[in-house]
Amino acid sequence: MSDLLDSVLDVARSPLALLAVTLGGYQLGRWLQARSGGHALVQPVLVTIVVVGLAITLLDVDYPDYRRATELIAFWLGPATVALAVPLHRQAAHLKGFVVPMLVAIVAGATTSIVSAVLLSRALGAGDDLERTLATKAATTPVAIAVTDALGGIAPLAAVCAISIGIVGAIAGPFVLDLLRIHDRRARGLAVGAVSHGVGASRMLREDETEGAFAGLAMGLSALAISVLVPLLAVFLF
């Protein structure tokens, strides 16, 4: 009997099973998102992380083993990051007469969010590696992971911070913009995309097409700005 249990556990801890749990968790997340009518709190990635986190804890699988088993999935992060050029290209027509305000605003915003995240966390007594992790959270998740890794922060934590701040933007973005009296649609989209990347952009797209397009554009440009600015600002900050 215990032989049978051992064989079942062996299979359950195999790379194939871990891949299946990941894909299954993602499908569950997508199903829940559809059921909730696309609510901002129900992000498939969060559902998947909870499902997989529980599964590997119960099965007693070490994280490095899980990471190796799912290399097949993680590999696509690189090509998908490159693919962010596609929406950027398709939205380029919206740009007439807004290029200068947009570029200045993006660079100013990226600088603000990097410096303020580092200084706020330092003031509240966070450690060095935590400061390095929080610096990148406004970038879209794949970029936040890559930049944090290069900076010596905690990449998995950067991923979760980036996803969380995206959700904050999707829930609170339009409301806070009203409070700040920002009514211009291009500026609204730009602001949410710059601080809450793709998750924020998907909310803006539901509100208004122009807002959504500019949020997508801001996500791509901010990713670039943050990956250039973080190593530069790091010279002064750390």
Site for other proteins in 94-113 (CB under 8 A): 97-98, 100-102, 104-106, 108-110, 112-113
* CB of 4 or CB of 100, closer to other proteins: 100
Q: What tokens appear for 122 in the block?
A: 């330092």
Vertex 49 angle, CA 85 and 14, to 5°: 105
Show contacts of 80-83: CB within 8 Å, 24+ apart. Answer: 80/142, 81/142, 81/143, 81/146
Asked if 195 touches other proteins (CB under 8 A), the answer is: yes
Could you tell me how far CA 223 lies from the centroid of its own chain?
Answer: 11
Dihedral angle sign, alpha carbons of residues 26, 32, 37, 39: negative
* CB of 38 or CB of 127, closer to other proteins: 127
Closest separation in Å from C-beta 17 to other proteins:
15
Distance CA 93, CA 171 (A): 28
Asked if 79 touches other proteins (CB under 8 A), the answer is: yes
Closest separation in Å from C-beta 33 to other proteins:
10
Closest separation in Å from C-beta 160 to other proteins:
5
Between the CA atoms of 53, 56, 59 and 64, what dihedral angle is there, to the nearest 10 degrees? Answer: -160
Asked if 186 touches other proteins (CB under 8 A), the answer is: yes
Closest separation in Å from C-beta 2 to other proteins:
28
State which of positions 110-149 bind other proteins (CB under 8 A): 110, 112-114, 116-118, 120-121, 124-127, 130, 134, 137-138, 141-143, 145-147
Asked if 25 touches other proteins (CB under 8 A), the answer is: yes
State which of positions 165-184 bind other proteins (CB under 8 A): 165, 168-169, 173, 176-177, 180, 182-184
The backbone torsions φ and ψ at residue 153, rounded to the nearest 5 degrees and listed phi first, read -95, -165
Closest separation in Å from C-beta 135 to other proteins:
9
Asked if 223 touches other proteins (CB under 8 A), the answer is: yes
Q: Is 200 within 8 Å of 194 (Cβ atoms)?
A: no
Asked if 49 touches other proteins (CB under 8 A), the answer is: yes
Asked if 194 touches other proteins (CB under 8 A), the answer is: yes
Asked if 220 touches other proteins (CB under 8 A), the answer is: yes
Which amino acid is located at 200 in the chain?
G
Show contacts of 47-50: CB within 8 Å, 24+ apart. Answer: 48/22, 49/25, 49/160, 50/25
